[in-house]
Amino acid sequence: MVIETCGGRLVNVSSSMGRFATRLGPYCASKFGIEGFSDSLRRSLPKLFGVSVHLIEPGGYKTPFGDPNRARTDFMDAWKRLPAELQEEYGDEYREQVTEALVDSFQSLASSKIHEVIDALEHALCAAHPRSRYVVGFDAMLLLIPLSWLPTSIADAIFCNAKTPPVPAALKKSH
């Protein structure tokens, strides 16, 4: 195995949402997985194989992933794959509100300074003494990561009261 003979560095890219979950459940879960896997490797590989492990945790950046048109199209494609009864339970209004909330929050917080992430990657790969974690971006440093330090009840209260999520049609009918 190459890692056994060469040593070196492993640099993974996660997200600040790997430390504080938002309403993007599946995305956050995948990032929490990268965080845990990287932590585990960082604690086991150096002594065994001389490999250091580093993690880049960017906030939101304006990339094709967050392009508003792509987000709307991807969300609509996923919506169309849902069974008709589930679409009816949630309703078109819910779908539209969720789509626009995602697009709006991304557009308001996402940075166009993608070079910040590239600089962190370069440092993690080339520096004589790289850091274990690189929190990159204004929203990550001042919002998501600090929220992760708070007691859960306080972080939940802040996050959940910041913006009320859309209500599915079936819940509107039952109230």
**Percent of the chain topping pLDDT 70:** 95
Q: Residue 125 phi/psi, 5° resolution?
A: -85, -35
Render pLDDT for 114-153 as a digit per residue (tens, 0 to 9). 999 999 999 999 999 999 999 999 989 988 899 899 999 9
Just list the catalytic residues.
Answer: 27
Tell me the pLDDT of the chain averaged across its residues. 88
Query: Does domain 2-174 bear CATH number 3.10.20.30?
Result: no
Q: Are 167 and 94 in contact (CB under 8 A)?
A: yes
Q: Are 99 and 165 in contact (CB under 8 A)?
A: no
Q: Are 158 and 150 in contact (CB under 8 A)?
A: yes
Give the DSSP H or E segment for 78: helix 68-81
Q: What confidence category does residue 175 fall into, taking pLDDT thresholds of 50, 70 and 90? A: low
Looking at residue 167, what is its pLDDT?
A: 82
3-state helix, strand, coil in the chain (%, to 5): 65, 10, 20
Q: Are 105 and 22 in contact (CB under 8 A)?
A: no
Domain ranges of the chain: 2-174
**Percent of the chain topping pLDDT 90:** 50
User: CA dihedral in degrees (52, 57, 115, 74; nearest 10)?
Assistant: 130
**Other CB atoms within 10 A of residue 121 CB:** 17
Looking at residue 5, what is its pLDDT?
A: 54
This prediction has a pTM of 0.81
Give the DSSP H or E segment for 2: helix 2-6
Q: What confidence category does residue 174 fall into, taking pLDDT thresholds of 50, 70 and 90? A: low
Render pLDDT for 55-68 as a digit per residue (tens, 0 to 9). 999 998 988 877 88
Integer Cα distance of 70 and 90 in angstroms: 22
Per DSSP, the residues of 48-73 read: HHSEEEEEEEE--B-SGGG-HHHHHH
